[in-house]
Amino acid sequence: MTDHHTDAAGLYARHRAVLPEWLSLLYDRPIELTHGEGRHVWDSDGNRYLDFFGGILTTMTAHALPEVTKAVAEQAGRIIHTSTLYLSRPMVELAERIAALSGIPDARVFFTTSGTEANDAALLLSTAYRRSNQILAMRNSYHGRSFSAVGITGNQSWSPTSLSPLQTLWVHGGVRSRGPFAHLSDAQYIEACVADLEDVLQQTSGGVAALIAEPVQGVGGFTAPPDGLYAAFREVLAERGILWISDEVQTGWGRTGDHFWGWQAHAASGPPDLLTFAKGIGNGMSIGGVVARAEVMNCLSANSISTFGGSPVTMAAGLANLTHLLEHDLQGNARRVGGLLIERLRAVCAGLDVVREVRGRGLMIGIELVDPGTDEPSPRAAAAVTEAARERGLLIGKGGLNGAALRIAPPLSLTVAEAEEGADLLADALQEAQKRLA
């Protein structure tokens, strides 16, 4: 490929002149990615990077996966869009496959074009079904940027407005390593979170519609609660008829290695009542959606469509991508290579004062940073490491509670050699940043 543009600086100036200031870009000198292949991407200056962030977990299998490119081109060559007013073979086929994989009995699937719309739809369905606008969400959670999704977000820094169409209460359980329950064992932690949930429920009047939770908090910094937490929550919720929405926008499709869906780490409770998905399924094409059992999905009486949800080109990409994922057991790869990667990262981070914790599941790994010699979360360390990694040819994400976490989520086809190379580049970047901060 030779499609190199130049002058990223000029493009940045034009970007700033016409796009919102809050549309955040990574890096002091933002880069323009022009093409990708496998686990690598190239920028407009010709620099090659190992991609440890996969376009924010959207490049699920690999960049430029030939099967997806072919499926998109073939579908686009036939017809790009037909709308949900007509029968669509790729939409029915992808819905059948997702319904079967979801674990939800008698499942129905509604396609959207993003994760936030998927959550919006889940909130609409659960509030309509339960005839209540009260929602429980997790502290430090993130569910998207549409009006209802920002309203339930459990951290002010990701929630640009305090206005909301929903009445939301937040419960403990998303982040454990800091906060009042940090010192507890897994069993004690679950007990404490259940007591908190019961306490919060005491403050509600009338029925609560649903609890929405990410099995591993994504924007929150890749923090995983102990297995079984949501099973314990579910007992409390089910007694009261409250629905459980599992936001699998980041954790779906085998990303967490041991399980296809994040909720399965809590399997004793069975599947959630509603499951939302997006990000990786289209390998970069805009697909989101919600799965719910028929009784919940069909509780709306008014007709409703999403003009672009389920668009044939995106569905064709999703089908090709899902087939590749399953045929190549990329969930198994996430478990194996993710396991090696986290071990290696723990080893290289062991002697570094700037690292507080390396955590995660499968190929969803978070590294929490502190100001060296303290326990203070360090967003400046996260920024410095992200820059130093880029200088070394490695793209990673940052974020998390206090903006102090590094987020690592490569395409699920990552090889052992690439995992080792990336861990070494990151170790070097961490050392460099630690020196710069000293």
Given a contact cutoff of 8 angstroms between Cβ atoms, the answer to whether 298 and 108 are in contact is yes
What is each CA distance from 133 to 1, 160, 209, 275, in whole angstroms?
A: 52, 21, 6, 19
DSSP letter at 225?
P
Helix/strand/coil for 158: helix
Distance of CA 325 to the CA centre of its chain: 17
Q: For residues 113 and 434, which CB has a smaller minimum distance to ligand PLP in the complex?
A: 113
Q: How far is the CB of 264 from ligand PLP (least distance, A)?
A: 16
What six digits make up the tokens of 10? Answer: 């000029």
- Counting contacts by CB under 6 A, is residue 280 touching ligand PLP? no
Output the smallest distance, CB 232 to ligand PLP, in A: 21
Other Cβ atoms within 10 Å of 307 Cβ, number: 11
Written as one string, the DSSP assignment of 191-218 is: HHHHHHHHHHHHT--S---EEEE-SSBT
Query: Per residue in 49-75, is it b (16+ CB within 10 Å) or e — as a string?
Result: bbbbbbbebbbbbbbbbebbeebbeeb
Structure tokens belonging to residue 30: 């933002």
Distance CA 357, CA 366 (A): 8
Residue choice 122, 232, 237, 278 for contact with ligand PLP (CB under 6 A)? 278
When asked if residue 59 is in the footprint of ligand PLP (CB under 6 A), the reply is no
Provide, rounded to whole angstroms, the least separation between the CB of residue 247 and ligand PLP. Answer: 5
Stretch that binds ligand PLP, among 124-132, 243-251, 323-331, 346-354 (CB under 6 A): 243-251
Q: How far is the CB of 148 from ligand PLP (least distance, A)?
A: 12
The nearest distance, CB 121 to ligand PLP, in angstroms, is 12
CB of 142 to ligand PLP, least distance (A): 5
Whether 261 contacts 286, CB under 8 Å: no
Q: Which stretch binds ligand PLP (CB under 6 A): 16-24, 244-252, 342-350, 374-382?
A: 244-252
Closer residue to ligand PLP, CB minimum distance, 132 or 141: 141
User: How many chain residues interact with ligand PLP (CB under 6 A)?
Assistant: 15
Pairing verdict, β 274-277 and 243-247: parallel
- Kindly tell me the sign of the dihedral angle through the C-alpha atoms of 316, 319, 322, 326: negative
Nearer to ligand PLP (CB atom), residue 123 or residue 201: 123
Instruction: Kindly give the residue spans of alpha helices, DSSP state H, lying in 203-329.
Output: 229-239, 294-297, 312-327
Draw the binding track, 137-156, toward ligand PLP (x: CB under 6 A; -: no contact): -----xxx------------
Burial code (b: 16+ CB inside 10 Å, e: under 16) for 341-359 equals bbebbbebbeebebbbbbb
- The residue type of 88 is S
Q: Which residue lies nearer to ligand PLP by CB, 174 or 257?
A: 174
Helix locations, 111-215, DSSP H = 115-130, 147-152, 186-202
| Separation of alpha carbons 252 and 289, rounded Å | 12
Of the two residues 233 and 277, which places its CB atom closer to ligand PLP in the complex? 277
Is the CB of 201 or the CB of 313 nearer to ligand PLP?
A: 313
Site string for ligand PLP, 283-302 (x = CB under 6 A): -----x--------------
Question: Could you tell me the smallest distance in angstroms from the CB atom of residue 320 to ligand PLP?
Answer: 20
Q: Which of 8, 138, 197, 249 binds ligand PLP (CB under 6 A)?
A: 249
Binding-site string for ligand PLP from residue 65 to residue 104, where x marks contact by CB under 6 A and - marks none: ----------------------------------------
Residue 158 as a binder of ligand PLP (CB under 6 A): the answer is no
Backbone angles phi, psi at 145, to 5 degrees: -115, 10
Q: What binding mask, one character per residue, do residues 114-133 give for ligand PLP by CB under 6 A, x or -? A: xxx--x--------------
Decide if residue 174 touches ligand PLP (CB under 6 A).
no
Write out the residues near ligand PLP by the rule CB under 6 A.
114-116, 119, 142-144, 214, 218-219, 247, 249-250, 278, 288
